[in-house]
Amino acid sequence: MWEYTDKVMDHFENPRNVGVVSRIDGEGQVGSLSCGDALRLTIQVDKDRDTIEDAKFQTFGCASAIASSSALTEMIKGKTLDQALSLTNQDIAEFLGGLPREKMHCSVMGQEALEAAVANYRGVPVKSAQGELVCKCFGVTDSEIERVVRTNRLTSVEEITQFTKAGGGCGQCKPKLEEILARVLHQTAKEPAGKPARMTALRRIKLIEEAINTEIAPALNRDGGDIELVDVDGHEVLVTLKGACASCPASKQTLADFVTDRLRSLVDPEIVVREYHA
Amino acid sequence: MKTIYFDNNATTQVDPQVFEAMEPFFKDLYGNPSSMHHKGGEVAPYIREARRKLSSLLGCEPEEIVYTSCGTESDNTALWSAIRTQPDRKHLITSRVEHSAIVNNVTLLRRLGYRVTEVGVDRQGRLDMEEFKRALTPETALVSFHWANNETGVVFPVEEIAGMCHERGVVFHTDAVQAVGKIPMNLRESKISMLSLAGHKLHAPKGIGALYVRQGLKFLPFMVGGHQERNRRGGTENVPYIVGLGKAAELAEARLGEENSRVRALRDRLEEGLLKIPYSIVNGDRVNRLPNTTNISFEYIEGESILFHLSHFGICASSGSACTSGSLEPSHVLRAMGVPFTAAHGSIRLSLCTYNTDEEVDFTLGKFPPIVEKLRALSPFWKDGAPTDSALLTCDTDSCSVCS
Ligand SMILES: Cc1ncc(COP(=O)(O)O)c(C=O)c1O
Ligand code: FES
């Protein structure tokens, strides 16, 4: 049995804003009956103030799909279109007190329906629907996947499937998903961390590697020293260190302190650096 | 809130008499039956008696029963024994609607170089007998078909199939996890080589299963260890659970008649009542079916949300929708039957037992229609009491392989 929060159950059992707005200014439809969930969002816009006057939904899907749709309408009513567009699927999930990982695609569906409805009102194409179709089974494009990976800081293909459904059918698109993931991870590793994200082991290792290669090693090199990453085990980072005066234990300690300090501030405050002796 | 338990194909409540029979084995009767002292000696007769009761339910010899830990272990034991005792036969036949205990071995077998035929079923979930007959060759190491399907309750003609396998000298295993205790059986008069069952589907606890292995059949153990179970399954006997399964088998044998009369009538009344809801359809052959199971699709709504609303009233059921499985596709059984996705996502399985009552059926029939109505009112595919032609019915990508 899924563990839904009380808020999810409340929005499921007493969904808000069901139906169609009285004057449809914008309409967004995502999902399909065959895919197992589908959402139709209609909005009524106050044209002078560019705000969403009213929003209503119709949803076919599981409890979390219905709750996410209901939450979405509550969140966007009264907002300007731009404010509404800045909502992410994370915001929808947070509004509901969280969703099971396997159900995160329900929040993504909400965000996409909103984007589609606003685009429809403005008479412009839907941005995330553009791009290359990656998952044929569930009709997901690369730009959609990229966005979801970024906003939710995903680190595995399995998570991409939980958030977008891509990869959950025949599985043929999985190599492509790997590629997109690697590309985005590479880019985001360079960006300063925004909201702290749940750090997976894989992500931690990637970040440590990145920090050593781009920051710490060059700094040591400048002083004639060097560092090599040997292994990462949880928060423990195993390295070989070479100082300018390699045999001097005191200087080694300062080296280790420097590396620890940098890794703690760049990657994770709990990191412990140990020196590896072959 | 009172619980109305209509999910007996998932698992059953332990019968109080079963629990009572097991209790002494958690207290004084703790001996290991292999031990050469009185504590060991005093439990052995109970195991013998339990084995006799189970063999009576199956209509076989007590020595033909090997205790296991669950249905899955029984299935795996049967499959790998057939493979390993016949190293030159490289072909297997099974169906597309088996339980994952069998299905998930297929990929592994193929990787090991085996050819596996997965015989299809028709729209009613009936096995394609012609396809099966064509597939059967002298190279076939094993044919494994379930006796009854866990999702739809559809019963396969396993005795007829066993006869055909026997004529050609092919080993036949049946996963009877859902059939034992619901269908009368007499293995002495059949040609079935091996049969799997699980205690928790017939009011014994979880953690005990059994495999029937026909006398004289070549056999290799799955769990290698001590001499227990006549060298067919290592590991100290799970004495309390074996005794519990014995008691459950005795009760099941006594209740077979009721299962096929009163429970069947309850199921039929529940089914007829639910079919009054518009756009509802039964999945599976209504003739050759377990007496306790019905699987109904409520079109244009999704199964998980039905289950949550039912659960609100204490009613327990299950669904073949994608959302309930944690996977993204509806049940492989409904897909193999060609149930359209539009109906598969809204499928609900109700599986009864002898504990269920007329009042429970009435209560459920009262609660169900408003739930369906409420969800349809939310659905973009429904308007004013009828389905709409919505653009959302199928994916907009032509290449979508899920729907096709
Ligand atoms: C047909 C069938 N086979 C095998 C099993 C597996 O039994 P167990 O869960 O005891 O391993 C089940 C249980 O759901 C079943 O329905
Ligand atoms: S193409 Fe993505 S799962 Fe089939």
- Nearest residue CA, atom 8 of ligand 1? B71
Residues 6 or more apart in contact with residue A191 via CB below 8 angstroms: none
Measured between alpha carbons, how far is residue B41 from residues B31, B36, B37, B234, B240 in Å? Answer: 8, 7, 6, 19, 15
Residue B402, pLDDT score: 46
Distance from CA of A181 to the nearest CA of B (A): 20
What angle separates helix B358-378 from helix B303-312, to the nearest 10 degrees? 130
All residues at 6 or more sequence positions from A261 whose CB lies less than 8 Å from its CB, including other chains? none
Q: Can you tell me the mean pLDDT for A111-136?
A: 88
CATH number for A1-123 (one of 3.90.1150.10, 3.40.50.300, 3.90.1010.10, 3.40.50.720): it is 3.90.1010.10
Give the model's pLDDT for residue B401.
45
- A33·B393 Cβ contact <8 A: yes
* Separation between Cα atoms, residue B353 and residue B178, nearest integer Å: 12
Beta pairing class for A26-32 and A37-46: antiparallel
Between the CA of A162 and the centroid of ligand 2 the distance, in Å, is 13
Q: How many residues make up chain A in this entry?
A: 278
Residue B9: both structure tokens together: 């194909």
Express each pLDDT in B145-165 by its tens digit. Answer: 999 999 999 999 999 999 999
Domain B16-252: CATH class, spelled out: alpha beta
Task: Please give the CATH superfamily to which domain A201-275 belongs.
Answer: Fe-S cluster assembly (FSCA) (3.30.300.130)
What's chain A's average pLDDT?
Answer: 87
A40 and chain B in contact, CB less than 8 A:
yes
Identify the CA nearest to A73 among candidates A37, A31, A26, A34. Answer: A26
Query: Atom 4, ligand 1: which residue's CA is nearest?
Result: B71
Residue A225 · residue A240 · CB < 8 Å = no
User: What top-level class would CATH report for the domain B256-371?
Assistant: alpha beta
Q: Report how far residue A127's alpha carbon sits from residue A120's, in angstroms, rounded to the nearest whole number.
A: 11
Q: Look up the ipTM and state it.
A: 0.85
Query: Which of B9, B94, B99, B173 to mutate to test ligand 1, by most ligand atoms within 8 A of the CB atom?
Result: B99
Chain A: closest CA distance from residue B239 (Å)? 31
- In chain B, which residues fall in CATH 3.40.640.10? 16-252
Domain with CATH 3.90.1150.10 in chain B: 256-371
Share in percent of chain A as helix, strand, coil (round to 5): 45, 20, 35
The verdict on whether A35 is a catalytic residue reads yes
Q: Which ligand is nearest to the CA of B404?
A: 2
Q: Ligand nearest B328 Cα, by number?
A: 2
Chain B CA closest to residue A59 = B379
Q: Report pTM.
A: 0.82
* Nearest Cβ partner for B378 among A59, A139, A170: A59
**Secondary structure tally for chain A: helices H, strands E:** 11, 8
Closest CA to A76 of A22, A120, A16, A147: A16
Q: Where are the beta strands (DSSP E) in chain A?
A: 26-32, 37-46, 51-60, 133-135, 140-141, 226-233, 236-242, 272-275
Q: Residues B203-237: pLDDT tens digits?
A: 999 999 999 999 999 999 999 999 999 999 999 99
* Contact yes or no for B171/B142 (Cβ under 8 A): yes
* Calpha distance A12→A106 (Å, rounded): 13
Q: B193: which 2 tokens?
A: 């080589």
User: What is the distance between the alpha carbons of residues B101 and B319, in angstroms, rounded to a whole number?
Assistant: 19
Q: How far apart are CA A122 and CA A75, in angstroms?
A: 20
B325 contacts B302 by C-beta, under 8 angstroms:
no
Query: How high does pLDDT run on average in chain B?
Result: 94
> What is the spatial order of strands in the sheet that A236-242 belongs to?
A226-233, A236-242, A272-275
Q: Which residues contact B283 (CB under 8 A, 6 or more apart)?
A: B125, B151, B152, B295, B296, B297, B320, B334, B337, B339, B343, B347
Q: Which residue ranges make up each domain of chain A?
A: 1-123, 131-198, 201-275
Complete DSSP assignment for B125-138:
--B-HHHHHHH--T
Nearest Cα of chain A lies from the Cα of B224 at a distance, in angstroms, of 35
Q: Which CATH number fits domain A131-198: 3.30.450.20, 3.40.50.720, 1.10.10.10, 1.10.10.1100?
A: 1.10.10.1100
pLDDT tens digit string along A22-79?
999 999 998 887 778 899 999 999 999 999 999 999 999 999 999 999 999 999 999 9
- The burial class, CB within 10 Å (0-12 / 13-18 / 19+), for A209 is middle
Q: What is the pLDDT of residue B392?
A: 61
A245/A162: higher pLDDT: A162
pLDDT of chain B along its 404 residues, tens only?
899 999 999 999 999 999 999 999 999 999 999 999 999 999 999 999 999 999 999 999 999 999 999 999 999 999 999 999 999 999 999 999 999 999 999 999 999 999 999 999 999 999 999 999 999 999 999 999 999 999 999 999 999 999 999 999 999 999 999 999 999 999 999 999 999 999 999 999 999 999 999 999 999 999 999 999 999 999 999 999 999 999 999 999 999 999 999 999 999 999 999 999 999 999 999 999 999 999 999 999 999 999 999 999 999 999 987 766 666 778 899 999 999 887 899 999 999 999 999 999 999 999 999 999 999 999 998 988 888 876 665 554 444 444 44
Q: Which of B393, B377, B394 is nearest to B385 (CA)?
A: B377
Q: In what order do the strands lie in the sheet with B65-68?
A: B65-68, B209-213, B194-198, B171-175, B140-146, B91-95, B115-119
Rounded (5°) CA angle B393-B394-B399: 170
State yes or no: is B323 an active-site residue. Answer: yes
